[in-house]
Structure 1
Amino acid sequence: MSEPVSPVEALIVVDVQSAAVSGARAVPDAARIIDRTADLIDRARAAGALVVHLQNDGPAGADDEPHTPGWALHHPARTGPSETVIRKPEDDGFERTPLGDVLTDAGVRAVAVCGVMSEMCVRATARRALDLDYRVVLPHDAHATHDIPAAEGISDAVPAAMASRVAEWSLGSEAEIVAHASDVMFTPRPCSRDAPEPGLR
């Protein structure tokens, strides 16, 4: 049995958008990611934790180009003071966004991170959170990516599951990697003052 994990005050759901979890370009085992992220969102809401949905703005012609079907969030955000949507232009969810201010206003110092893609936006957001001295919990079964294709003269193809594990490992010992989304516990966000309203930030 795994050691109990101290509760976190916020859930950051990274880029769980239609193009990433449905259709021909979905990550392998997308049904698992949909299920695990839905469970995390439901339990964070029930606990009164802050829920932040990051929504990537891809370039023109990309699967996640703004206002195309693939750009839409798979899990709709709820209206209320403890849930918000933040659009982001970079892999790092803190870069050129109000994410840091949203967490600060809610008094958050501990976050769980989930979503896609493991080695890109999930890792970049978790790494920046660690650099900003947040406590970061990353549930292994609640993030995913694509297989990495073979590169001639460099390597064979890398399965998606291995790429995700390497992304976790690259965060070092500061991140708390837990086996299951169900291992993540939530507690109410400390402050409701100036809490973010959902919408495009």
Structure 2
Amino acid sequence: MTDTPLPVQALIVVDVQKDGVTGDRAVPSADVLLDRTAGLLARARGAGAVVVHLQNDGDPGAGDEPYTPGWALHLPVEEGPTEVVIRKTWDDGFKDTSLGAVLTEAGVESLAVCGVMSEMCVQATARTALELGYRVVLPYDAHATHDVPAAPGISEAVPAAAVSRVAAWAISADADVTTAATDVRFAAPGGA
């Protein structure tokens, strides 16, 4: 990690939906996640970077079932030429979506990923981005998840912060996961 990290050209905001960040189903420290994500959004927009909001379409009865209150994106979207919402049904934001095409058409070569859940949709999307050749930044304080319950006779409960750390560690050989959200810099595609 350098003192002045290279800027990234896109921000992927993964599943920051009401169900995961408000109420009794919110991830621990949802307020911190929302603050960090809002800061990333402001800087990405200000730099002309591409912003993609991934929105999960949950199964019937799930907290993120389409068109229910929990399905709604929590942070404001400024849809336009460089900001879009892409709905998905898989953990991986690239699978069966237009995400790859959006990034390719914009000329994106590097991106930051934030959101929920660290060990599921955030990690799956970041891993595929790496496999596709993107430079990936995963700010350690801009993704979150829930505690993993204890497995009687096997292990104690695993706190959410540890789960997030392990999820990031699993891809740390290929992605920059040491950067704080406030250290992520952005540039318009073609400008970095």
Q: TM-score, normalised by structure 2?
A: 0.97
Give the corresponding residue for 1:174: 174
| Aligned partner letter, 1:152 | P
Q: After the TM superposition, list the runs of 4 or more consecutive aligned residues in structure 1 that deviate by more than 3 angstroms.
A: none
Distance in structure 1 (CA, Å) of the matches to 2:86 and 2:154 = 37
| Aligned partner letter, 1:177 | V
Give the corresponding residue for 2:92: 92
Distance in structure 2 (CA, Å) of the matches to 1:172 and 1:34 = 23
Give the corresponding residue for 2:147: 147
Distance in structure 1 (CA, Å) of the matches to 2:96 and 2:14 = 15
Kindly state the Cα deviation for residue 79 of structure 1 after the two structures are TM-superposed.
2.7
Unaligned runs of 5+ in 1: 192-201
| Aligned partner letter, 2:133 | D
Per-residue Cα deviation, 1:66-118 (whole angstroms, up to 9, x for no partner) = 00000000112113100000000000000000100000000001000000000
Per-residue Cα deviation, 1:124-144 (whole angstroms, up to 9, x for no partner) = 000000011100001000000
Give the corresponding residue for 1:199: none
Q: Mark the CA change 1:180 to 1:93 in structure 2 (over 3 Å): closer, same or farther.
A: same
Give the corresponding residue for 1:104: 104
Give the corresponding residue for 1:129: 129
Kindly state the Cα deviation for residue 64 of structure 1 after the two structures are TM-superposed.
0.3
Q: TM-score, normalised by structure 1?
A: 0.92
- Asked if structure 1 preserves the Cα contact closer than 8 Å seen for 2:79 and 2:85, the reply is no
Distance in structure 2 (CA, Å) of the matches to 1:190 and 1:62 = 40
Per-residue Cα deviation, 1:134-174 (whole angstroms, up to 9, x for no partner) = 00001000000000000112211000000000000101311
Moved more, 98-107 or 145-154: 145-154
Kindly state the Cα deviation for residue 2 of structure 1 after the two structures are TM-superposed.
6.2
Per-residue Cα deviation, 1:29-54 (whole angstroms, up to 9, x for no partner) = 10001100000001000000000000
Give the corresponding residue for 2:72: 72
Distance in structure 2 (CA, Å) of the matches to 1:155 and 1:35 = 32
Give the corresponding residue for 2:36: 36
Give the corresponding residue for 1:9: 9
- Give 3-state SS (helix, strand or coil) of 1:24's partner: helix
Distance in structure 1 (CA, Å) of the matches to 2:59 and 2:154 = 28
- Give 3-state SS (helix, strand or coil) of 1:133's partner: coil
Give the corresponding residue for 2:54: 54
- Give 3-state SS (helix, strand or coil) of 1:162's partner: helix
Unaligned runs of 5+ in 2: none
Number of aligned residue pairs: 191
| Aligned partner letter, 2:123 | R
Per-residue Cα deviation, 1:150-201 (whole angstroms, up to 9, x for no partner) = 011221100000000000010131101134101100001239xxxxxxxxxx
Aligned-pair identity (%): 64
